């Protein structure tokens, strides 16, 4: 259970970082 919670938190962080990178590269085009 604890491992699952930790894994989901790490996954959320990675997803947020990936989204930030995509948004930044998207705004750089303009």
What are the helix (H) ranges across the chain? 2-28
Look up the pTM and report it: 0.57
Quick one: pLDDT at residue 5? 85
Q: What is the pLDDT of residues 2-26, one digit of tens each?
A: 778 889 999 999 999 999 999 999 8
Rounded alpha-carbon distances, angstroms, from residue 23 to 1, 5, 12, 13, 30: 33, 27, 16, 15, 12
Quick one: pLDDT at residue 16? 96
Phi first, then psi, for residue 29 (nearest 5°) are -65, -30
Q: Would you list the domain boundaries of the chain? A: 1-30
28 or 20: which leads in pLDDT: 20
The 10 Å Cβ neighbour count of residue 7 is: 10
């Amino acid at each position: 259970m604890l491992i699952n919670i930790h894994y989901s938190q790490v996954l959320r962080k990675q997803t947020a970082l990936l989204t930030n990178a995509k948004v930044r590269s998207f705004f750089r085009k303009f």
